[in-house]
């Protein structure tokens, strides 16, 4: 099996995996980073969202060979102490019910706010529509994104 070097949350890591192994499983099984969740396995729900460079991407559909050498940020790397504006807003609004999708929601929101720091409600809905919340906390998610934009 080949060896791959990644920069995960600012640290260089080396992993051995088949070229087609999804990044999600490398993060969870090899690097013990459990914040990124498995949801659907077909890049449709967003539970596995991480940043590759500055872009929010679904780690369940990213073969490790395609992200070798890339800078990857997981929910664990969004901030060291939970002080990222998105994390703060999530806490203030009390967004999660079950919480399963929330890491992916926050990763999508933080990438979106980097490119659109002052979004309208419609822009927030459009940006977040690809992330599924089984508990239907969509109104609180939208409010938290609005609040995070004000905090940034």
Q: Are 58 and 48 in contact (CB under 8 A)?
A: yes
Q: How far apart are CA 134 and CA 70, in angstroms?
A: 31
Q: Name every residue whose Cβ is closer than 8 Å to that of residue 13 and which is 6 or more positions away in sequence.
A: 5, 6, 7, 31
Q: How far apart are CA 64 and CA 22, in angstroms?
A: 6
pLDDT at 1: 87
pLDDT at 129: 95
Query: Using the 8-state DSSP alphabet, how is residue 31 labeled?
Result: S
**Parallel, antiparallel, or unpaired for β 55-58 and 49-52?**
antiparallel
pLDDT at 152: 84
> What's the pTM?
0.96
Alpha helices in 55-94 (DSSP H): 64-67, 75-78, 85-93
Ranges of the chain whose pLDDT falls below 50: none
Q: Are 3 and 16 in contact (CB under 8 A)?
A: yes
Hey, what are 23's tokens? 């990044």
* Helix H or strand E segment including 127: helix 121-128
pLDDT at 61: 97
pLDDT (tens digit per residue) in 104-145: 999 999 999 999 999 999 999 999 999 999 999 999 999 999
Q: How far apart are CA 27 and CA 84, in angstroms?
A: 21
Burial 93-104 (b: 16+ CB within 10 A, else e): bebbeeebbbbb
């Amino acid at each position: 099996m080949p060896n791959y070097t990644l920069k995960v949350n600012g640290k260089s890591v080396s992993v051995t995996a088949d070229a087609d192994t999804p990044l999600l499983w490398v993060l969870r099984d090899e690097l013990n980073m459990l914040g990124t969740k498995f949801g659907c396995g077909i890049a449709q729900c967003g539970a596995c969202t991480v940043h590759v460079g500055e872009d929010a991407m679904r780690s369940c559909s990213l073969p490790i060979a395609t992200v070798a050498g890339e800078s990857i940020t997981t929910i664990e790397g969004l901030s060291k102490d939970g002080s990222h504006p998105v994390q703060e807003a999530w806490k203030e609004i009390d967004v999660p019910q079950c919480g399963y999708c929330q890491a992916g929601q926050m990763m999508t929101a933080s990438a979106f706010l980097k490119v659109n720091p002052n979004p309208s409600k419609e822009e927030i809905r459009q940006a977040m529509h690809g992330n599924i919340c089984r508990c239907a906390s969509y109104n609180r998610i939208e409010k938290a994104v609005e609040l995070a934009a004000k905090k940034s």
